[in-house]
Amino acid sequence: MRNVPTILHLDMDAFFASVEQASKPSLRGKAVVVGGLGPRGVVATASYEARTFGVRSAMPMAQARRLAPHAAYLVPRFGLYRSVSEQVMALLAELSPLVEPLSLDEAFVDLEAGDTAWDEESARRAGAKLRADIRTGTGLTGSVGLAASKMLAKIASERAKPDGLLLIEPGTERALLAPLPVRTLPGVGPATGDHLRRAGISTVEELAEAGEDELVRLLGKAHGHALYAMALAHDERPVVAERETKSVSVEDTYDVDIHDRLRVGLEVQRLAGRCVRRLRAAGLSGRTIVLKVRRYDFSTLTRSETLRGPTDDPVVVREAAMRLLESVDTTGGVRLLGVGVSGLADYTQEDLFAQAAEEAADAASEETAAEPVEERPTAAERHWAAGHDVRHTEYGHGWVQGSGLGRVTVRFETPVSQPGRVRTFRVDDPDLEPADPLPLLSGGAEGAEGGPVVGSPSPSSRGTR
């Protein structure tokens, strides 16, 4: 392990909710909850204002609504989140060639590899500059941890939240870890944590005192050795710039169980199409098609089929997924469906028969029939998702506050305007169209109501993310 704190861990603060607050002036400083809004929806992210009411990630949305009934509940806008994430990751890449993204809002950086930091002072400067650059470029805040290992850097960023920086000085690691719960360490999930608790081990200090032999006896050789080393603050894992993608998959959870077998088949075909689009966007193909089915009783079945060679052909993937569905009993209803492709490669096995089938399908408009999501809906058919962007020919850019009973309520504001006014329209109003999100800190404010345009959100209006 290093003797200087040159591994940085960045964790953006309440990322999805913070992006929504930065995008919507009327929500700054307010409780915001992002996630699935159906009966089975779960919370993806809650703003810190919502967390004061007890709302947490992965909580059922129905429970969140009981805890914070006056919060703003929004459907995720993943395209915008990815765009902002790319901005943040570009700033990390300026620090070092070794950046290891863990998700859209979290990454490790090896500052030593970029010759950005070589001691405590330079590491602290690099972390402070990164936080300032993120705020300037996106209006968001991120928490930074600096330490001599990945484990400790991640612990430091968690303790720095929200909107802080913590550097763990070499030599202080054992003292910092000692009182922490064992669940703090990587690889200790609920099951392992309960197993250790039953053995009388609740803190990292108790873990170290138990000794390596006892941990091997309790957890097995590999896990026991690794956990004992971490309890002693030893973590030799390097920052890995490229993580190999092992599979590409998509899945949907349905608000109401699907009982109709024909509908289940159509959903599988639609998911297969989405999966292939994601596969092609990544420049990949795959040999193994995987179908996931979660039934009404929460039992989950997985079926797979391995092809002769890798493919990114939508017809081949659809047909394989449908063959897999034939072996699954969906009696009683289905609550979740997923289609994935693994055994990935960056080339395809040309299949002339599949190509011919795809051409025939295109000619017969099979693609359109199987994937209605690609059609442009009529005004009456549009689904106005809460939080999503719209544009009105007279009032300009806004976002959906809610819809129902044939009406849709829109607040007209932009990321760089004052909080805007609310208006209600028929859901089939021809002057109202879905729109793309606007950049968080630049332009796009023309035609929006809500007062004068400002250059960027002020620090006081951004609040804590």
**Cβ neighbours of residue 103 closer than 8 Å, sequence gap 6 or more:** none
Both tokens assigned to 29: 């400083």
pLDDT score at 345: 81
- CA distances to 45, 57, 269, 328 from 219, in Å: 33, 29, 42, 36
DSSP 334: E
How far is 173 from 155, CA to CA, in rounded Å?
11
Query: What confidence score (pLDDT) does residue 372 get?
Result: 36
205, 221, 225, 230, 237 from 212: Cα distances, Å: 13, 9, 6, 11, 19
Paired tokens of 114: 């970029």
Closest by CA position to 310, among listed 278, 270, 351, 274: 351
Q: How far apart are CA 138 and CA 136, in angstroms?
A: 6
Which stretch of DSSP H or E encloses residue 179? Answer: none
Mean pLDDT by 10 residues, the chain (465 residues): 91 96 96 89 93 94 95 93 94 94 93 91 96 94 96 95 94 92 86 88 92 89 89 91 80 88 95 92 89 89 90 93 93 93 72 41 40 43 85 96 92 95 94 93 47 34 36
| Burial class of residue 228 in the structure, from the number of CB atoms within 10 Å of its CB (0-12 exposed, 13-18 middle, 19+ buried) | buried
Distance separating alpha carbons of residues 136 and 140, to the nearest angstrom: 8
Q: What are phi and psi of 372, to 5 degrees?
A: -65, -20
What is the model's pLDDT at position 133?
Answer: 95
Separation CA 84–CA 465 (nearest Å): 14
Residue type at 59 in one-letter notation: M
Task: Single out the residue of 210, 200, 124 nearest to residue 168, CA to CA.
Answer: 124
Catalytic-role residue among 20, 49, 100, 106: 106
How much is the pLDDT for 358? 45
Q: What is the C-alpha separation between 266 and 322, in angstroms, rounded?
A: 9
Tokens 């919060």 label which residue?
Answer: 71
Domains along the sequence of the chain with CATH: 187-231 (1.10.150), 247-374 (3.30.1490.100), 379-462 (no CATH)
Dihedral of alpha carbons 225, 227, 232, 235, sign = positive
C-alpha 334: how far from its chain's center?
24
**Token pair of 46, please?**
């809650």
Reported as type and span, the H/E element at residue 434 is: strand 432-434
What lies within 8 Å, CB to CB, of 189 at 6+ separation is 183
Query: Side chain identity at 28, as an amino acid letter?
Result: R
- Token pair listed for 65: 């609504």
Please answer whether residues 108 and 7 qualify as being in contact, where contact means their C-beta atoms are separated by less than 8 angstroms. yes
Active site residue 214: no
Are the CB atoms for 40 and 64 separated by under 8 Å?
Answer: no
Predicted pLDDT at 349: 52
